[in-house]
Amino acid sequence: MLLAGGVGGARMARGLVGALPPDSLSVIVNIGDDERFHGLTVCPDLDTVIYTLGNVVHAQQGWGVAGDTANALGMLRKLGAADTWMHLGDGDIGLHLFRAQCLAEGASLTSITARIAKALKVKAAVMPASDDPAPTLIETDEGSQRFQQWFVQQRAQPAVRALRYMTDEARLSGAAAQALAEADLIVIAPSNPLLSILPMLALPGFRDALAKTRAQRVAVSPLIGGRAIKGPLDRMLGDLAIGEGNAAIATLYGDLLDRLVIDESDHADVDRLKAAGVPQVQLAATRIGDRAAATELARAVLLASGVELNHDVWRTA
């Protein structure tokens, strides 16, 4: 079972699918980035995980559909539509039209996501953390921004003064609660904790489910040498005075972890992390450069957890 958001989360999911019997993996995905564009509900983290596991993702970008055209977006721009800074390809819009139709018919985001994953030949169970909208708002000196407005339109430049997880009206979905209760191992992907993981932990019932589960709970740090591999995390930690490096990650996850996986180049952090209360610290190669690296990292995490590996994959690689 994986908790994921963003491109780092999708790549970790792909690594786990390479190391496990695919139908033994559930991926609970952040919905705090979800936003409406042109009347359609866009779920970037769900779609990025599904496109990645369905092997159709635009690999260099990490999101969107490989080889996608942008004719619809071109027409929207010609018509002077708002928010065309969010690059939505034609194939991607096809998926958003399908999701909008299903939502209009009263289907839950969980059931729609399962249908999309099946249609795109994704074997892992991919599910939203909640069926209810729970947007993440970014407070900057210019006021409160929707996530994509800050992340994409403003390229995450404005300093973050606070984050608001609008989760009061939302609930942990039944499917996600069940997956958390039944898991043997819960891996928190090397996603941005502030933008992809904490929005899920803020959902009523999520932290409680993580505290009560019998599963081992392992997080992979998204930082190497205190630097984010991708995205604004290290700058945000500074803006929000949360600390830096792996110690800041341990602080953010608090007592929800049984083990923190950090990059082998950060071996000097081990004693300090244990002194700060992290029960176990594992060293691994956490840079997910390509599919092989993602599978290698997944195997290292699974082996340390004593989880039965998918040996024929093991032999072939």
| Terminal Cα-to-Cα distance of the chain (whole angstroms) | 22
Our CB check for ligand FO1 shows the closer of 147 and 253 to be: 147
Residues 199, 6: Cα–Cα separation, whole Å: 12
Minimum separation from the CB atom of position 73 to ligand FO1 (A): 10
Minimum separation from the CB atom of position 283 to ligand FO1 (A): 27
Among 66, 70, 114, 152, which residue sits at the site for ligand FO1 (rule: CB under 6 A)? Answer: 152
Range 175-204 burial, b when 16+ CB lie within 10 A, else e: bbbebbeebebbbbbbbbbbbbbbbbbbbe
If one asks whether residue 32 binds ligand FO1 (CB under 6 A), the answer comes out as: no
Instruction: Give backbone dihedrals phi and psi of 105, rounded to 5 degrees, phi first.
Output: -85, 0
C-alpha separations of 17 from 42, 43, 49, 75, 115 in Å: 25, 22, 12, 38, 19
Q: Which residues pair with 143 in a beta bridge?
A: 140
Size of the site for ligand FO1 (CB under 6 A): 17
Minimum separation from the CB atom of position 44 to ligand FO1 (A): 3
Instruction: Give backbone dihedrals phi and psi of 37, rounded to 5 degrees, phi first.
Output: -130, 130
Minimum separation from the CB atom of position 202 to ligand FO1 (A): 17
Question: Taking Cα atoms as reference points, which of 87, 12, 21 lies closest to residue 53?
Answer: 12
Our CB check for ligand FO1 shows the closer of 84 and 110 to be: 84
Count CB neighbours of 97 within 10 A. 13
If one asks whether residue 15 binds ligand FO1 (CB under 6 A), the answer comes out as: no
Our CB check for ligand FO1 shows the closer of 192 and 305 to be: 192
Minimum separation from the CB atom of position 102 to ligand FO1 (A): 17
Going by the DSSP 8-state scheme, the letter that residue 268 receives in this structure is: G
Question: Taking Cα atoms as reference points, which of 218, 193, 158, 140 lies closest to residue 32?
Answer: 193
C-alpha separations of 131 from 115, 167, 191 in Å: 15, 11, 21
Minimum separation from the CB atom of position 7 to ligand FO1 (A): 6
Using CB under 6 A as the binding rule, the residues of this chain from 34 to 93 that contact ligand FO1 are 42, 44-45, 47-48, 63-64, 86-88, 92
Our CB check for ligand FO1 shows the closer of 47 and 296 to be: 47
Residues 256, 177: Cα–Cα separation, whole Å: 16
If one asks whether residue 6 binds ligand FO1 (CB under 6 A), the answer comes out as: yes
Our CB check for ligand FO1 shows the closer of 8 and 269 to be: 8
Our CB check for ligand FO1 shows the closer of 151 and 206 to be: 151
Our CB check for ligand FO1 shows the closer of 26 and 148 to be: 148
Contacts with ligand FO1 by CB under 6 A lie at 6-7, 33, 42, 44-45, 47-48, 63-64, 86-88, 92, 148, 151-152
